[in-house]
């Protein structure tokens, strides 16, 4: 997401690319959600993106995102905020207060922390992060351990499991991205999960 003049045109181009990719894959573009990653961008940039029609915004860090969300609470009241970065257990209360969706749940310990700090009858939507590449630099549960974490998430109070999240390898281009995205897709289908959080600026078409 960029804050310079022309966001409408750039957004239109991204949506056109999504449409073209969906045509090649035989998918309905309406089934694809576009999340504008607003990390490091000021609140006014989010305002411009919101005015251009975007409603889903992703933040990497709880502290930065929480401040931005609070500042924009009235202006973008129907925006949906996604925490896409790693979540530490000590940041869970702030994450639950400000974010609608947590994309990076990767352990039973984190699930338990979410349940323990969930206010009243509150709920939060989550994705389980799967590390399909095995890269040490990436968070996420292994594919072999994902089944147990999926079952635990489904039994965790206040948690609504939307699907799986993964990040493609840095190296390998579209071919590596296709392989990386195929594993969680098959795993999600096996467990009846309908949503997949994956694809960034350089590989979302895969």
Residue 3's pLDDT is: 45
Residue 196's pLDDT is: 95
Residue 121's pLDDT is: 83
Query: With b meaning 16 or more CB within 10 Å and e meaning fewer, what string describes 128-164?
Result: bbbbbbeeeebbbbebeebeebbebbeebebbebbbb
Residues 6+ apart with CB under 8 A from 135: 169, 170
Residue 1's pLDDT is: 46
Residue 4's pLDDT is: 45
Residue by residue, pLDDT tens for the chain (206 residues) are 444 448 899 999 999 999 999 999 999 999 999 999 999 999 999 999 999 999 999 999 999 999 999 999 999 999 999 999 999 999 999 999 999 999 999 999 999 999 999 988 889 999 999 988 666 667 788 888 899 999 999 999 899 999 999 988 777 777 788 888 888 999 999 999 999 999 888 888 88
Query: Contact, 198 vs 166, CB < 8 A?
Result: yes
Q: How far is CA 32 from the centre of its chain?
A: 12
At residue 60, the 3 state secondary structure works out as coil
Nearest to 134 by CA among 167, 104, 107, 87: 167
Residue 136's pLDDT is: 63
Residue 144's pLDDT is: 84
Residue 188's pLDDT is: 94
Query: Contact, 193 vs 164, CB < 8 A?
Result: yes
pLDDT, one tens digit per residue, over 33-66 is 999 999 999 999 999 999 999 999 999 999 999 9
Residues 6+ apart with CB under 8 A from 205: 17, 18, 20, 21, 174, 199
Distances (CA, A) of 176 to 29, 145, 168, 170, 196: 23, 22, 7, 9, 17
Distances (CA, A) of 175 to 4, 60, 172, 203: 32, 26, 6, 10
């Amino acid at each position: 997401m960029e804050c310079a003049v022309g966001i409408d045109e750039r957004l239109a181009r991204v949506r056109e690319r999504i449409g073209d990719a969906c045509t090649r894959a035989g998918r309905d573009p309406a089934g694809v959600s576009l999340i504008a990653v607003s990390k490091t961008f000021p609140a006014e940039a989010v305002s411009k993106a919101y005015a251009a029609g975007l409603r889903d915004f992703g933040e990497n860090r709880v502290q930065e995102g929480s401040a931005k969300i609070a500042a924009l609470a009235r202006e973008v009241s129907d925006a949906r905020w996604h925490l896409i970065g790693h979540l530490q257990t000590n940041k869970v209360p702030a994450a639950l207060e400000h974010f609608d969706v947590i994309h990076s749940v990767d352990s039973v310990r984190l699930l338990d922390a979410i349940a323990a700090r969930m206010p009243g009858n509150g709920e939060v939507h989550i994705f389980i992060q799967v590390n399909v590449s095995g890269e040490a630099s990436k968070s996420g549960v292994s594919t072999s351990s994902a089944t147990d974490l999926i079952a635990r998430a489904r039994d965790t109070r206040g948690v609504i499991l939307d699907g799986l999240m993964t990040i493609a390898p840095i190296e390998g281009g579209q071919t590596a991205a296709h392989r990386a995205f195929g594993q969680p897709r098959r795993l999600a289908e096996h467990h009846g999960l309908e949503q997949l959080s994956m694809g960034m600026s350089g590989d979302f078409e895969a």
